[in-house]
Amino acid sequence: MVAVLVLHGPNLNLLGSREPDIYGPATLDQINAQMARFAASYNVDLACFQSNAEHELVDRIQQAADDGTEWILINPAAFTHTSVAIRDALAAVSLPFVEVHLSNPDSREPFRHHSYLSDLAIGKICGFGPDSYLLGLQAIINKIDASRNS
Ligand code: CA2
């Protein structure tokens, strides 16, 4: 069984309660539950973690280096555009990761156009609402299958 860690950045705990026009009506629990069902059907062990605190996300990434995590799926939220600390943590643990966003940051304000993580990511999916997470998870599962069969 392959272990995948899903990380959600600041304010994503508010999903479903505010700004549904931008981020949709689904709550974070609903998104996590949908991913968990999807993961189970592919025999993937999924762990989900959300924090509003940068250091907690850094700590969880560091922990992933020692807890059997093989891939990370991350929506860094606003930390996408600000956090050298999260970038450094991902670089330090050297785990492959996929960056996802509900919205398409490139079609929004200019300050959202730069990501501190994208150049380290295996890939990036954005703009599809909660489907961005499922598409990211599917891409990770395809990569795992490809590495098993090579
Ligand atoms: O589109 C995404 O997934 C973002 O990562 C969301 C971040 C934003 O800063 C990024 O540029 C793009 C913001 C997450 C805020 O989440 C909220 C959810 C509900 C209500 C208010 C904020």
- pLDDT tens figures, 132-150: 999 999 999 999 989 888 8
Mean pLDDT of 52-56: 98
Element (H, E) at 73: strand 71-75
Model pLDDT for residues 85-126, shown as the tens digit of each residue: 999 999 999 999 999 999 999 999 999 999 999 999 999 999
Residue 18, pLDDT score: 81
Share of the chain above pLDDT 70, in %: 100
- Distance, CA of 58 to CA of 144 (rounded, Å): 24
Number of other residues whose CB lies within 10 A of the CB of residue 68: 12
Ligand 1 site-directed mutation target among 17, 51, 80, 98, most atoms within 8 Å of CB: 80
* Ligand 1, atom 5, residue with closest C-alpha: 77
pTM of the model: 0.97
* Ligand 1, atom 18, residue with closest C-alpha: 15
Catalytic site positions: 23, 101
Model pLDDT for residues 57-74, shown as the tens digit of each residue: 999 999 999 999 999 999
Three-class SS state of 83: coil
Which of 16, 15, 112, 130 is CA-nearest to residue 73?
130
